Amino acid sequence: MKIQTIFLTVSIMATLAISSCSNSATDKDFIGKSTTKFESDLLTPEALWSLGRIGSVQVAPDSKTAVYNVTYYSIEQNKSHSVLYTQSLDEKENKILTTTNDNERNAVFYDGGKKVLFLSNKSGSQQLWSMNADGSGRKQVSDLTDDISEFLLSPDEKQIVLIMEVEDTTNIQKNDEDLPLSSGIVINDFMYKHWDQFVKTIPHPFLAEFDGKRVTVKKDILEGEPYECPLLPFGGAEQLAWSPDSKTIAYTCRKKTGLDYANSTDSDIYLYNIEDGSTRNICKPEGYVEPETDFTRSKENQQVNKQPEDCNVGYDQNPQFSPDGKYIAWQSMERDGYESDRSRLCVYEIATGKKTYVTESFESDVNTYLWGNDSQTLYFTGVWHGTIMVYSTNIAGQVQKLTDGVWDYSVEALTADGLNLIVKRHSMSQADEVYTIALNDNNKITQITDENGFIYSQLEMGKVEERWIPTVDGKQMLTWVIYPPHFDSTKTYPTLLYCEGGPQSPVSQFWSYRWNFQIMASHGYIIVAPNRRGLPGFGMEWLEAISGDYSGLCMKDLLTAIDAVSQEPYVDKDRLGCVGASFGGYSVYWLAGHHDKRFKCFISHDGIYNTQQQYVETEEMWFPNWDLGAAPWTAEGKALKAYTDSPHLSVDKWDTPILCIHGMKDYRILHSQAQSAFNAARMRGIEAQMLLFPDENHWVLKPQNGILWQRTFFRWLDRWLKK
C-alpha cells in the first residue's frame, strides 16, 4: 500500500518546537499541548516527543471530577513543562488550570472539593500552593528553605507529610569548611553513589500542620536517623500513608547504611504515632536480631542463622490503611536480596497483628493497588501473559479478573461513592489516557481523557500480533510481533530482535518514549519482542530460570523467536538486526559472539559487557549477588557460568557491526562497559560506533538527547539493514 501523506506541516518551526499551545497562556514560550500537523502519517521522533504525558490522577469528594497533571516537552527549548487539568467524569468537559511557565503537579482536592493543593516552582523553589477548583485564587501556602519533592495530606486536612532532602554524611564525609571550593569526595562506605547521583542528601518525611492557608513544619519524622524515606531511587509519596483518623503515619524504610544497605533489599513498614512520637516495625517481631550473612557467597552458603517465623525480610513497601482503619496492606517480597521476587499483597490486621497474603493465587507481581470502600476488597494490577490487567481480591484471597484486552493498566483512584475505579491505560500503540471502570455496571470501561487524540488521528500505527512459539525444551513462549504501518505481505522487510532488560521486566503492552516499537515499525522494520525466560507473567519457574543462568535458556529463547518469525516470506533473513538495553544490552553483547551470522548489526544501550567488572562497579550489590550467584573471587564464583561465559570473553568471535550507547551518569551499569565493548570491537577491526551522554543516567530524559538517540539508532540500523 502506498504511504499516504495526508497532513501538511503548518510551519518548520512548529514541527521543530512542537510547543504551541491550544490554550491561552500568560507567559512567553509556554510549553503546552501540541497543535502540530505532520507531513507524514508515520511516527517520527518529533511526533513522539509531542505527546502529552499524563501523570498522577486524583478524584474530588463528589465523585464527579478528576484533577491530573500532564507533562509536555519542547525540543527547541530542550525542557519539559507540567500543567494541571480538571476533567469531568461523566462528561467530556476538560479545563486547564495552570497557564504559566511554572511547573505544577501532584494536585489533590481539599475543603470538600472546593480547593486544590499542588506543588509549583513559581517561587524559585518547589513549594505548596493552593487554588480554587476552577483555577482561580492561587496562593502560596509554604515558604520553606528547601524544595518539597512530594506531599501527603491527612484525612482531616489539618496535617501534611512533606518529603524534603536532608544532609547525609554517612558514606561521603563532609569536606573541611575552609576548603569550600574543593571538588574532592572522601568516601567511607558503599552507597556513596546511587542510580545517577553521589549521595550527599537523602529524602526524609517531615510532619507539618496545615490550617488551610499556611503550612508550619513541626518535625522530621526520621530526625537524626541516616535512613532514606521514601526509598531511592524511585520511591515517592506512595511509600507513606495516613491512618483514617489522622493519628498514625505508616512509612517504608530500609534502616541500613553502607554495605549492609547495598547487600539487602530488606525494607519494612513502620507506624509512627503522632501523639507520642513513638515508632514500631510491623514487619519484624520485637527483639528481632539481624542474621549474620555473607552475601558474597552463593545463596546456599550465605545465611548463618535462621530467620524467625512471621518475619518479612524482603522488600516491603507502599502501605495503605483500609478505610475503616482496621487493616494495613502493603506490597511484600518474601526473600532478602532478591529485588525481582514476586510482589504480593500483605494485609495486616492491626488489632491482632495477623498477616494474610491475599494474592497468593495470582502467580505474578502486584504492580499498583488500592482499597475498596468496604475495607474487605482490594483492587490491583498485575502482568499475566504479556498484558497488565485489573483484578480484585478479598481478605480471604479470592482473586477475580476485572478487565480484558491487549492493554496495560494502572489503578489510580476510587471514587468516594465506590462506583468507579479511575485507571490509566496504554498499549504498544497508544500512550496513557485516563479511563473509568464502572464496578456496578459489569466493569464497563469509559475513556475520559483524550490528551493525544489529535496526534493519533494523524498517524498510522502498525499491527501488533501475539504469537506463541515453541522453545527448545518444549515450552510455549509469548512473542509480540509488530508490523510496519501499511504492511504489504508480498514484500520483504528488515527485522529486529528486541531483547528485553530488567532482567525480569515484562514485555507487556508497554509504551516507551525511547524503546518504542511503533516508531521502529514506522521506520520500516518488523519487530520481534519475545517474553523470554526470566520474565514475569508466566509463573515463578519461568521467571526464576534466568537467575545464575544469563547465557542459558533465555539466550536460546531469543534466538528461537527470531528464527521462528524469520520463516515468514515477508522477513528478509539477510537483513536482521538485534537491539536491547540494560540486560537487553548484555544480551546484545553476548549474542554478538554467539549468533552464527544471523544478524547484520547490533545496538546495545547501557549493557553489561564484562560481568566480573560489573560486580565491582555497580552500587546495589543485592543485584549481582543474587543474579550472578557469588563474588568472582570466591571459590563458588570462580566456577560460575556468569563469569566464565561473560560477553567480553567471546570478543574473538565478534564479526558484526555494533553501536554502543551509554549514559555517563548511569551508576548501576557504568559507562566503562560501553567503552570497553566499543574499544574491543575497533581493535578487532569491526565497524563500531559509540554514543555517550555525559548528563544522562540509565535512561535518556532530555528532549534533544532523546532526538539524537533516535536519529543515531535509526541511522545505524538503516546503514546496515537497508543497503
Predicted confidence (pLDDT) per residue in 470-516, tens digit: 999 999 999 999 999 999 999 999 999 999 999 999 999 999 999 99
Name the active-site residue from 606, 666, 671, 676.
666
Q: How far apart are CA 470 and CA 479, in angstroms?
A: 10
User: What confidence category does residue 27 fall into, taking pLDDT thresholds of 50, 70 and 90?
Assistant: low
pLDDT score, position 306: 61
pLDDT score, position 647: 98
What pLDDT, in 10s, does the model give residues 187-226?
A: 999 999 999 999 999 999 999 999 999 999 999 999 999 9
134 annotated active-site: no
- 528 contact partners, CB below 8 Å, separation of at least 6: 479, 480, 481, 495, 496, 497, 498, 561, 562, 565
The CA-to-CA distance between both ends of the chain, in Å, stands at: 22
- 460 contact partners, CB below 8 Å, separation of at least 6: 4, 41, 42, 485, 486
Percent over 90 (pLDDT), the chain: 91
Q: Which residues of 564-590 are buried (b: 16+ CB within 10 A; e: fewer)?
A: bbbeeebbbeebbbbbbbbbbbbbbbb
Question: β-pairing, 571-581 with 493-499?
Answer: parallel
Rounded to an integer, the average pLDDT of 455-467 is 97
User: What confidence category does residue 23 fall into, taking pLDDT thresholds of 50, 70 and 90?
Assistant: very low
What predicted TM-score, i.e. pTM, was given to this entire model?
Answer: 0.94
Fold of the CATH domain 461-721? Rossmann fold (3.40.50)
Rounded to an integer, the average pLDDT of 688-703 is 97
Report whether pLDDT(7) > 50: no
Report whether pLDDT(9) > 70: no
Q: How far apart are CA 385 and CA 401, in angstroms?
A: 13
pLDDT score, position 446: 96
Q: How far is CA 302 from the centre of its chain?
A: 30
Q: Which helix H or strand E contains 554, and what residues bound it?
A: helix 553-565
The three cell numbers of residue 499 are: 531483547
Question: β-pairing, 201-210 with 139-140?
Answer: unpaired
Provide the total of helices (H) and of strands (E) in the chain, helices listed first: 14, 40
3-state secondary structure of 518: helix
Phi and psi at 718, nearest 5°, equal -65, -35
The three cell numbers of residue 673 are: 562497559
pLDDT score, position 13: 31
Report whether pLDDT(15) > 60: no
Rounded to an integer, the average pLDDT of 517-530 is 98
Name the active-site residue from 332, 582, 646, 676.
582
What pLDDT, in 10s, does the model give residues 329-361?
A: 999 999 999 999 999 999 999 999 999 999 999
Rounded to an integer, the average pLDDT of 370-394 is 98
Rounded to an integer, the average pLDDT of 569-577 is 98
Name the active-site residue from 194, 204, 426, 698.
698
Report whether pLDDT(291) > 90: no
655 annotated active-site: no
Q: Where are the beta strands (DSSP E) in 403-555?
A: 408-414, 420-427, 430-438, 444-447, 464-470, 476-482, 493-499, 526-530
168 annotated active-site: no
Rounded to an integer, the average pLDDT of 38-48 is 95
